[in-house]
Amino acid sequence: MRKCYDVPMNPSAWIGAALAAMLLVPALVGCDRDNSGAPGATASGAGATASGAGATASGASATASGSGSKDHAANTASGAAPQPPEPMGDAARGRELATKHECHRCHGGLELPPIAATSHCVRCHIDVLAGKFDHKTEALGWRKNVAHLIAVPSLAATGARLDYAWLVRYLADPRDLRPALEPTMPRLGLDAQASRDIAAYLVSVGKTAATSPTTEHDALSGADDARGRKLIDEFQCGACHRMSGVDELAATSKLEPGKRETRAAVMLAPDLRFARERMGNAELVRWLLDPAAVKPDTLMPRTPMTPEQARDIAGYLMRATLAPQAVVAVPEALPLLERKVSFDEVKARVLDVTCRHCHGDPNAAFGDGGPGNTGGFGFPARGVNLTSYEQLMAGYLDSAGERKSLFAKMADGTPRIVAALWARHRELAGAPNPELRGMPLGLPPVPPADIQLFATWVAQGRPR
Ligand code: HEC
Ligand code: HEC
Ligand code: HEC
Ligand code: HEC
């Protein structure tokens, strides 16, 4: 089997790599690509707009779409070979792992041991924005700074919606699914077995037995896909959704943009190109007819429609020919600055923006230094505290528990902490760095101009 996407990416090699990626595209056809498993397949225009950090969608395209592991195997527009079946994981172990990895600090809809309001990332952020978080007088000032983790899809009724094999691949190698949502599912370091076990647990959540094999099989028979597309435009699904790879969906209706629920619904609406990978035909038709009947806490409103209309829409979503996803390029590194850079600048423009919220000072936060310091999301304590000059200099704990410098050079000469910032750009471009997790974890990448500032400060000897 041939690997599809193996372009070396490091700060000095981007231009070459980007070029190579484009030139290699024709050669990729026929490699061992399975669309969703292929790193190059990351979200498209979606990633480009959502990151807002200069991720440019290049014209080069490296993937076809469609996969099949359920009754929709025949829907693949690309004719890609079906996936080998994914062995079923152990749901009980999966539940333990989900607890250990604290999925429910971000996601609702799972019945796991409760997470205190004071550590639930999303709950607390929503409370801060709503003015309900009464904690000293700083609280009001904090409101303007909370930008992320205010809407995260609930995982309720996953078993009635999402495909097992898709979940396994996604957990091991998450990609951007929602054009209007900046955070992505973080790479949690789950190996293949852990991903299977957790996926097995997820599909046991709200599993329905409502389907009979005949309805599964016939869900799309007689569907008029062209009429389905007309209905999608008529019903204004585009008010919330995008569907990359087809002509833009009509969106003229006025949602109530001021309402929090509306904003959250738009943020949480997936790019509809992925529906065919994630859902089976029958699940999709049921969803369209009445989303809340499938998932009670969903923010997708019910659009009154007949079963025939739902079938036609499903036909279009499952079978419309999709243009290949645009490749999100890793932006080019900027040359070091000529001027002097101070620590205060680095702190203000990088460390204080997102980093310190996960790499905090445990003394100032009831002993919890955040997932990047004292541990969380299943990560052991890595001891990275990014709140002060001294702490930054104190480094990190490696896998043997030894303190190492955050400025040690990687093989290509990039200081470790700077490499972690580039690794986040690479993740969004579908080429994660196997040695280093991208930072900030699951959040929009640091813009190249700010990485340039950080790299310059390091190169100047890290003055105080
Ligand atoms: C730091 C917050 C965070 C944590 C912790 C987290 N997730 Fe997520 N997850 C997200 C976000 C944000 C998304 C939506 C990403 C997108 O749409 O691009 C997401 C998406 C998902 C999805 C896709 C759901 C859908 O409807 O599209 C699944 C499945 C999922 N996460 C499972 C998990 C599991 C299992 C764990 C624990 C092992 C976990 N997540 C931990 C933030 C988190
Ligand atoms: C007890 C309430 C609370 C909890 C729990 C909490 N946060 Fe926050 N978070 C805040 C407040 C308040 C701010 C704004 C602080 C400021 O302005 O200095 C903030 C800001 C942030 C920011 C920077 C602003 C942004 O939106 O990008 C990030 C990143 C962040 N939090 C991540 C997390 C993560 C990850 C978790 C879960 C591990 C979490 N927070 C849990 C209250 C909380
Ligand atoms: C008000 C915003 C809104 C409107 C309008 C809307 N949706 Fe949704 N849709 C959502 C949200 C939010 C989700 C994610 C649901 C969840 O996980 O709870 C969703 C999920 C879906 C999904 C599942 C996709 C997946 O990959 O999981 C499909 C399919 C879908 N919508 C199709 C449609 C169609 C077709 C229409 C028009 C008839 C429509 N939606 C109208 C917000 C909306
Ligand atoms: C949402 C939480 C979160 C945010 C925000 C975050 N980190 Fe992290 N960080 C983590 C976690 C969790 C780990 C441990 C990961 C692991 O063990 O692989 C980590 C580890 C690291 C490491 C050590 C990596 C290694 O393997 O040596 C560095 C360096 C780092 N973070 C830098 C940053 C910087 C710089 C920022 C801000 C741009 C940042 N982080 C923002 C959660 C976060």
Q: What is the CA radius of gyration of the chain?
A: 23
For residues 273 and 283, what is the distance between their CA atoms, to the nearest angstrom?
Answer: 16
Q: What is the model's pLDDT at position 26?
A: 31
Cα–ligand 3 centroid distance for 270 (angstroms): 7
> What is the pLDDT of the chain when averaged over all its residues?
83
428-437 mean pLDDT: 94
139-146 mean pLDDT: 76
Reported as a single tens digit per residue, the pLDDT across 366-409 is: 788 999 999 999 999 999 999 999 999 999 999 999 999 999 99
Spell out the domains of the chain, with CATH numbers in brackets: 91-204 (no CATH), 213-319 (1.10.760.10), 343-459 (no CATH)
Per-residue CA distances from 91 to 94, 160, 194, 403 (Å): 5, 16, 10, 37
Per-residue CA distances from 457 to 154, 389, 415 (Å): 41, 12, 11
| Minimal-distance CA residue to ligand 1 atom 8 | 185
φ, ψ dihedrals at 458, nearest 5°: -65, -45
Task: Answer yes or no: is pLDDT of 22 > 70.
Answer: no
| Minimal-distance CA residue to ligand 3 atom 11 | 269
- Tell me if the pTM is above 0.85: yes
Task: Answer yes or no: is pLDDT of 323 > 80.
Answer: yes
Band (70; pLDDT cuts 50, 70, 90): very low
- Using a 6 Å CB cutoff, which residues line ligand 3? 153, 232, 235, 237, 239-241, 255, 265, 268-270, 272, 274-275, 278, 284, 287-288, 295, 298-301, 303, 313, 317
Q: What is the model's pLDDT at position 210?
A: 55
Q: What is the model's pLDDT at position 423?
A: 98
47-58 mean pLDDT: 34
What residues have CB less than 8 Å from 31, skipping those under 6 apart?
2, 3, 4
- Amino acid letter, residue 363: N
What residues have CB less than 8 Å from 299, skipping those under 6 apart?
261, 264, 265, 268
Strand blocks (E) in 203-343: 326-328
Ligand at shortest distance from the CA of 438:
4
What residues have CB less than 8 Å from 228, skipping those under 6 apart?
309, 311, 312, 313, 314, 315, 316, 317
Ligand 4 binding pocket mutation candidate from 188, 382, 422 (most atoms within 8 A of CB): 382
For residues 339 and 342, what is the distance between their CA atoms, to the nearest angstrom?
Answer: 10
